């Protein structure tokens, strides 16, 4: 089984976010970038298939050369090789088109990704990728088993989980549950050294025009001051909730 894992290069959630050029560009100065957490869950599941079923695992990213350390970390975790599509990831549809070209050229059976990236939270790329490649698609996956060409999956729905069965080829958008946080892997020194020797191919983009563009960014309003109310003063609490917070 040939597995392709889509990796997004995203800011660490502890990073302080700023914008430049009149709030039209994201300021990367001082920002630590990591593997998108949802993608890391899917990558860890791919490693299970590699170790238990002999699958080969390729990781792919759409981005410029600054994303290569993130791909190298994925290689250190255990992926066999990496592909970087040499294009800026600024639009979900163009990213999906670039990834679709990689899938079609590579003959992959299973494509794993996170359900969304934690920077723009678009949640659109896996579904569009499935449509462009004519693969089956399951979103919000929290459990997965592969037996030959048959796949059994569990996904989150409102009020519970749903069990599905389908077949390869397949695109799966995973999240926490496809593996647990305790199963995530920290690259060891041996993995880091081996990652330096693993293939990282750079391919030129197919050249898809972006369907959308960013006009500006806006930070959330700063949090207001906190008012403390004595535990016995229920009347004041109700008054504040009704007249100031206006939530009752």
Could you tell me if residue 107 is inside a domain? yes
What is the distance between the alpha carbons of residues 115 and 94, in angstroms, rounded to a whole number?
A: 17
Cα→Cα distances 145→5, 38, 130, 206, Å: 16, 18, 19, 33
> In this predicted structure, what is the pLDDT of residue 20?
92
Q: Is residue 224 part of a domain?
A: no
The answer to whether position 225 is within a domain reads no
Rounded distance between C-alpha atoms, residue 203 and residue 197, angstroms: 18
Residue 120 has pLDDT above 90, yes or no: no
Mean pLDDT of the region 62-73: 96
Stretch 182-208: mean pLDDT, rounded?
A: 93
As a whole number, the mean pLDDT across the chain is 94
Q: Is the pLDDT of residue 244 over 90?
A: no
Number of domain units in the chain: 1
Query: Can you give the pTM of this predicted structure?
Result: 0.88
The structure tokens listed for 49 are 């298939």
Q: Compute the chain's Rg from CA coordinates.
A: 21
Residue closest to 31 by CA, chosen among 67, 85, 84 = 67
pLDDT exceeds cutoff 90 at 80? yes
Mean pLDDT over 143-160 rounds to: 94
Its sign, for the CA torsion 73, 77, 82, 86, is negative
Could you give the CA distance from residue 144 to residue 155 in angstroms, rounded to a whole number? Answer: 9
Query: Does residue 172 lie in a domain region?
Result: yes
- The residue with tokens 């191919």 is 201
230 in any annotated domain: no
In a domain, 199, yes or no: yes
For residue 149, being part of any structural domain is answered with: yes
Q: Is residue 39 part of a domain?
A: yes
Structural domain boundaries enclosing 125: 2-218
pLDDT at 212: 87
What pLDDT was estimated at residue 211?
86
The predicted pLDDT at position 220 comes to: 86
Q: What is the CATH number of the domain that holds 82?
A: 3.40.50.620
């Amino acid at each position: 089984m040939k597995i392709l894992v889509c990796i997004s290069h995203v800011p660490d959630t502890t990073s302080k976010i700023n914008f430049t050029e009149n709030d039209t560009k994201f300021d990367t100065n001082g920002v630590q970038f990591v593997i998108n957490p949802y993608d890391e869950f899917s990558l860890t599941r791919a490693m299970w298939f590699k170790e238990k079923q002999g699958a080969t695992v390729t990781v792919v990213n759409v981005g410029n050369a600054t994303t290569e350390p993130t791909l190298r970390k994925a290689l250190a975790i255990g992926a066999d090789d990496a592909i970087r599509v040499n294009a800026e990831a600024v639009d979900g549809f163009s990213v999906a088109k670039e990834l679709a070209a990689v899938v079609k050229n590579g003959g992959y059976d299973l494509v794993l990704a996170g359900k969304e990236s934690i920077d723009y939270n678009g949640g659109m790329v896996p579904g569009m990728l499935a449509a462009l490649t004519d693969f089956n698609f399951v979103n919000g996956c929290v459990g997965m088993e592969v037996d030959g060409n048959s796949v059994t999956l569990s996904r989150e729905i409102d009020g519970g989980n749903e069990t599905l069965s389908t077949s390869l080829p397949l695109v799966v958008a995973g999240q926490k549950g496809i593996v647990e946080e305790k199963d995530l892997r920290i690259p060891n020194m041996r993995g880091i050294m081996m990652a330096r020797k693993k293939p990282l191919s750079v391919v030129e983009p197919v050249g898809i025009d972006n369907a959308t563009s960013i006009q500006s960014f806006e930070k959330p309003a700063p949090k207001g001051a906190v008012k403390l109310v004595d535990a016995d003063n229920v009347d004041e609490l109700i008054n504040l909730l009704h007249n100031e917070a206006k939530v009752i």
